[in-house]
Chains A and B, each alone.
Chain A
Amino acid sequence: MSVELSERPAPPAPREITTQPRRSDQIFRIVVTIGGMASLVILGLIALFLSIKGLHILTEEKLGFITGSAWEVITDDTGSIAESKFGIGAMLVGTFLSAMIAILVGVPISVLSALYLTFYANGKVKKFLISVIDLMAAFPSLLFGFWGFFVFMSSAEYWAKLINKYLGFIPFFDVPTPIFERSPFIAGLVLAIMIIPIVTSISREIFDQTPLDRIQAAYALGATRLAMIKAVVIPFGRGGIIGGAMLGLGRAMGETVAVYTVLNVVYQINWQILFGAGGNVASLILLKFGEAGPAEVDALMAAGLVLFILTLLVNAVADLLINRFGGKGR
């Protein structure tokens, strides 16, 4: 036996498998490749530009750029810079707080409304609501800011005071002085409203794709609609919800005008969400850009670079989360 085995001829090397694509296919391939690469190139160019302008600020300020929170430019009589200090720590904290509040408030509302639209709303109500939500997505953010400032703020302030009164013993909800206007809390709520459309429509799309046979299997076992949603729709849609939430987070972190209108820019790190002090990186750039001298513009570019990297990080984390938790229910 063993002799026979050793004498068996070695299998041939695997063949190379090729095909000769048609000319039209080759051309189309080039076209789509250009399209596909364009966004990558543009993204790369933006990163490059921000780096060229801002990197020297980062190397000068070192870690202080992220941890410090002073933003000062002192010019001497001739107008040239005598002393400068750039730190965006306070803005990063403000970005983080307002975006987190936006996610914590906005995502549950979005998921609930997506569930309502997919499994409860019928016919006309559904169509109407979907077009309203789509319209909301197309709304200029300045209008959200105005609305937040002129209409929403007073009632949000009232809630903030209530929270502070009853939950003030928790450090987050404490305030050093009773200033409740233009706080991260209010900015977060406005951002929550702004991210609802995108998170809702992404969740709705994924819920819509829930395999009918699984839904029917659940119902056939005597499931209520709620039980069916918990057992079938949520496991299936989890990855999509996370993805939508991350897109929402990206929008909330990068939002400029709306945050600028409803959040005080204060150069001091503030973790107390009800207190009217904060600012986010994007609104700092908006605030300073108009009157900034060349050195300060570079510092603002550096801030932009940090925001850019932060956004990339968030997306990477989102991918990780989706791979980790999203796949099981598919």
Chain B
Amino acid sequence: MTDNKGFQDNDKEEKMTTSHATPASLSSVASARTMSQPGTTLLGTGLETRGVHAWFGKKHVLSDISLDFAAGTVTALIGPSGCGKSTFIRTLNRMHEFIPTAAMAGEVLLDGKDVYAPGTDVTKIRLRVGMVFQKPNPFPSMTIGQNVLSGLKLAQIKKSNTDELLESCLTRAGLWNEVKDRLGEHGGALSGGQQQRLCIARSLAVEPQVLLMDEPCSALDPGSTFRIEETIAELAKSMTIVIVTHNMQQAARVSDYTAFFLSDGGPGEMIEAAPTSKIFSSPQDKRTEDYVTGRFG
């Protein structure tokens, strides 16, 4: 898997092994997910990138990334700081273009359709490809409940039974029990870990097909991290997840596939993408091995 082609056509045996590679304390999470056989049932969505490049001004930061994210799988993006993981993940839901000098080339296909095609309504793309940021960012002017449902208001979606939706989103994000009695409080009144789960619940409310998570646990304590990993395992049953992480154990625990990015001073490149167990046990590329074993990065 040293070429930049995708990894959609992997057999399920290898995914099963993922759970064996996980630490014992978290095996329950992993086995819960593995039981649902991610990737085996095609949910009708898929995200693919073909030859994606990215620039900030004249600076070429990402070179020729082609990756597949099959429906219902969790893919971890790993690599040293500055190799372009965030940039890549932000090209997937067109958040990249908010940076004034940003440019991109290549194609990002959602269900086979290029999200950068002329005439595309970008707000519709972002509804289908949700995002959770590194720093929890609830809307402080809204209550907890309003935060969860804010996506409906922002995208002008009419829903009749919002109470049900509110409860199901918070439940899926693993936050319901902690906040069910304080839905009227302001979003800022929660702890950092709770805020991050609130942000996850918020992105679930608009029912995205793909959820992008850029280091969602990097500001959190181990307990909150564990709960969010549980959440990810739960969510993977119904959606495609792409997660950037600096935590190798986390990548091993939560993901089915792992892609390793690296920049040798030039633009970031994808060195290797394979089932997670393979990346961690028998990587093809020496640089991947060095990185995942902690020899650099």
Residue on B with the closest CB to A212? B98
Q: Give every chain A residue within 8 A of B237 (Cβ-Cβ).
A: none
Q: How far is the CA of A217 from the CA of B195 in the complex (A)?
A: 13
- Report yes or no: A235 in contact with B141, Cβ–Cβ below 8 A: yes
Q: Taking each of A214, A217, A328, A330, which has the highest tally of chain B beta carbons within 10 Å of its own beta carbon?
A: A217
Q: Does B73 contact A (CB under 8 A)?
A: no
- A227-B153, A227-B155, A231-B150 known; A221+B203 contact, CB < 8 A: yes
Report how many residues on chain A are interfacial, defined by Cβ distance under 8 Å. 21
Chain B residues near A227 (CB-CB < 8 A): 153-156
Residue pair A231, B154 in contact (C-beta under 8 Å): yes
CA distance A283 to B137 in the complex (A): 51
Q: Mark B170-208, 1 if CB is under 8 A from A, else 0.
A: 000000000000000010000000000001001100100
A214 to B123, CA, bound (A): 16
Is B233 engaged at the interface, CB distance under 8 Å to the other chain?
no
Surface stretch bound by A, among B6-14, B51-59, B124-132: B124-132
Residues of A within 8 A of B155 (CB): 221-224, 227
Contact of A213 with B150 at beta-carbon distance under 8 Å, contacts A220-B126, A220-B130, A222-B155 already known: no
Closest to B124 in A: A222
A221 to B146, CA, bound (A): 14
Partner of B137, one of A213, A228, A328: A213
5 A-B residue pairs with CB within 8 Å: A217-B202, A219-B98, A221-B150, A223-B155, A224-B154
Q: Are B135 and A213 within 8 A (Cβ)? A: yes
Contact present for A216 and B95 (CB under 8 Å)? yes
The answer on a CB contact under 8 Å between B137 and A224 is no
A32: min CB distance to chain B, Å: 33
**B199 in contact with A219 (CB, 8 Å):** no
Does A221 lie within 8 Å of B137, measured CB to CB?
A: no
Q: Which residues of B contact A213 (CB under 8 A)?
A: 133, 135, 137
Q: Number of residue pairs across A and B with beta carbons under 8 Å?
A: 75
Asked whether A222 and B139 contact (CB < 8 A) given A216-B98, A216-B133, the answer is no
With A213-B133, A227-B155, A236-B141 as known contacts, state yes or no: A220 contacts B150, CB within 8 Å: no
Within 8 Å of chain B (Cβ to Cβ): is A218?
A: yes
B297 at the interface (CB under 8 A from A): no
Residues on B lying within 8 angstroms of A by beta carbon are 93, 95, 98, 123-124, 126-127, 130-131, 133, 135, 137-142, 150-151, 153-156, 186, 199, 202-203, 206
Q: Which A residues have a C-beta under 8 Å from some C-beta of B? A: 211, 213-214, 216-224, 227-228, 231-232, 235-236, 328-330
Per the bound structure, the CA–CA distance linking A228 and B123 in Å amounts to: 11
Known: A217-B133, A217-B138, A222-B127. 9 other contacts (CB 8 A): A213-B133, A213-B135, A213-B137, A214-B137, A218-B154, A221-B150, A223-B154, A227-B155, A228-B154
Inter-chain CA distance A328–B123, complex, in Å, is 27
B contact residues around A223 at 8 Å (CB): 123, 154-155
Least CB distance, A175 to chain B, in whole angstroms: 44
Q: Which listed residue, A214, A221, A231, A232, touches B126 by the CB 8 Å rule?
A: A221
Residue on A nearest B136 in the bound complex, by CB: A213
CB-CB under 8 A for A219 and B95, given A328-B141, A329-B141, A330-B140: yes
Known: A217-B133, A222-B123, A222-B206. A231 touches B139 (CB 8 A): yes
Is there an interface contact between B123 and A217, defined as CB atoms closer than 8 Å? no
Indicate if the CB atoms of A221 and B151 lie closer than 8 Å: yes
Given contacts A228-B154, A231-B154, A328-B141, contact A221 B202 (CB under 8 A): yes
> How distant is the Cα of A231 from the Cα of B98 in the complex, in angstroms?
18
Question: Known: A227-B153, A228-B154. Is A217-B141 also a contact (CB below 8 A)?
Answer: no
By the criterion CB–CB under 8 Å, are A222 and B154 in contact?
Answer: yes
Q: Output the nearest chain B residue to A123 by Cβ-Cβ distance.
A: B100
**Minimal beta-carbon separation of B108 from chain A (angstroms):** 15
Whether A220 touches B141, Cβ cut-off 8 Å, given contacts A213-B133, A213-B135, A231-B150, is no
Question: Smallest CB–CB gap between B55 and chain A, Å?
Answer: 18
Most buried by B among A213, A220, A223, A224: A220
- Bound Cα distance from A236 to B138, whole angstroms: 13
Contact A220 B139 (CB under 8 A): no
